[in-house]
Amino acid sequence: MCVLLRVVCQVISVYFVRRELRELNVADKELFLDTFATLYQTPTAKGVALYGKHYQSLTALCIFHLRSAVITRDIDHMHDGLGVVTQHMAMTMEFELAMQSVAPRLALPYWDYTIDSAKVQALHPGAYLTSTHDIFEQSELFRVDWFGATDATTGHVEAGRMAQMRVARDYNFEVL
């Protein structure tokens, strides 16, 4: 019985491996971006009905982040002190669960922005960059086949798959 149980457990074991965005194959890249768009377009209540209890919309995740960060002007539970890593890891887990509700085989990839920073610094040797604008302008991740091209004047993605997506700005947190 013990051997049979071990075999059954091994058969149902699933391993998720996080990869840097640029390391995704084409199918995984498309699945991630389509799922990301689904989380943006589908409100939480509708998503829970369609995909299950772990679904959360991107708006709900953004509000969760803001509520945790901006308790008062002088208290930030998300970024102050030793909680910064654990709070963001917990939120990443929530984000991944929401994505896996839509696409169960998906592991949430990560963005290694130091790759883009190094490329921008190579373009401007000796310059100390004080703005992330150049990273968003130069990174392949902000081209039409990824998240979309950003516009420096609006600060929005204006072309590509994520064009015209806007983060809700309800600073009173009255709307989910």
Q: What whole-number distance in Å separates Cα of residue 28 and Cα of residue 91?
A: 22
142 pLDDT band, cuts 50/70/90, is confident
Same domain, 75 and 85: yes
What is the share, in percent, of the chain residues with pLDDT greater than 90? 35
Block residue for tokens 């983060």: 167
Structural domain contains residue 27: yes
Residues 99, 40 within the same domain: yes
DSSP letters along 2-33, please? HHHHHHHHHHH-------BGGGS-HHHHHHHH
Q: Is 9 inside a domain boundary? A: no
Q: How far is CA 5 from CA 13, 14, 15, in A?
A: 12, 16, 19
Residue 83 and residue 23 share a domain: yes
Residues 106 and 124 occupy one common structural domain:
no
What pLDDT does 4 receive?
A: 47
Please give the pLDDT value at position 51: 97
pLDDT in tens, 89-113: 888 899 999 999 999 999 999 999 8
Global pTM? Answer: 0.79
CA dihedral sign of residues 68, 105, 109, 170: negative
Q: Domain range spanning residue 64?
A: 16-110
32 vs 146: CA distance, rounded Å: 10
Same domain, 48 and 100: yes
- 126 and 143 share a domain? yes
- Structurally, the chain folds into a number of domains equal to 2
Q: Which residue has the higher pLDDT, 11 or 150?
A: 150
93 and 45 in a single domain? The answer is yes
Q: Which of 110, 130, 156 is a domain's end point?
A: 110
User: Hey, is 94 helix, strand or coil?
Assistant: helix
Same domain flag for 104 and 116: no
pLDDT, mean over the chain: 81
131 confidence band (pLDDT: 50, 70, 90): low
Residues 68 and 145 in one domain: no
Strand partners, 134: none
